[in-house]
């Protein structure tokens, strides 16, 4: 399943990374956007239709964490991705988009809302 995920496809590519770097945001918010973009790419790689299944997410985390031979890491990794998936899903519903259609501008809005800095 991890072979389906190409970190330089769709969401995570040099152009998107450069776009994030050019944003007039604090470094921590840029980092948050990069992490959300990465999580979004993972979720999109394992999703069926316009949602992901928790068992597929758990399976993906287990496969990826085998590299470290650490079940605690796998559990924490899954927990963090599952929480992020819920956050992204709720946000996408709030703005009327499918989670697969979220883009950098949407993630900027999400990050600004979570830190209390709403867009003008």
User: Is there a domain that residue 73 lies in?
Assistant: yes
User: Is there a domain that residue 14 lies in?
Assistant: yes
pLDDT score of 73: 84
Q: What is the pLDDT of residues 64-110, one digit of tens each?
A: 888 888 888 888 989 999 999 999 999 999 999 998 899 999 999 99
Domain count, the chain: 1
Q: Which of 98, 94, 85 is nearest to 54 (CA)?
A: 85
Number of H helices, E strands in the chain: 5, 0
Phi, psi of 47 (to 5 degrees): -80, 155
How far apart (Å, rounded) are the C-alpha atoms in residues 49 and 85? 15
- Residue 48 in tokens: 């069926």
How far apart (Å, rounded) are the C-alpha atoms in residues 88 and 34? 13
> Given CA atoms 66, 6, 58, 83 in this order, what sign does their dihedral have?
positive
User: Is there a domain that residue 120 lies in?
Assistant: no
Q: What is the pLDDT of residues 2-46, one digit of tens each?
A: 334 444 355 678 888 899 999 999 999 999 999 999 999 888 888
Which residues constitute the domain of residue 84?
2-114
- The DSSP symbol for 51 reads B
pLDDT score of 50: 53
**21 Cβ contact list (under 8 Å, min separation 6):** 30
């Amino acid at each position: 399943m991890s072979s389906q995920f190409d970190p330089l496809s769709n969401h995570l590519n040099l152009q998107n990374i450069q776009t994030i770097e050019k944003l007039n945001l604090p470094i921590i918010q840029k980092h948050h956007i990069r992490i959300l973009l990465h999580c979004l790419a993972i979720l999109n790689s394992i999703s069926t239709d316009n949602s992901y299944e928790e068992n597929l997410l758990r399976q993906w985390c287990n496969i990826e964490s085998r590299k470290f031979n650490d079940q605690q890491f796998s559990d924490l990794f899954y927990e963090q991705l599952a929480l992020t998936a819920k956050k992204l899903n709720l946000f996408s519903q709030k703005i009327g988009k499918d989670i697969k259609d979220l883009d950098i501008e949407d993630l900027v809005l999400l990050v600004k809302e979570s830190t209390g800095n709403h867009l003008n």
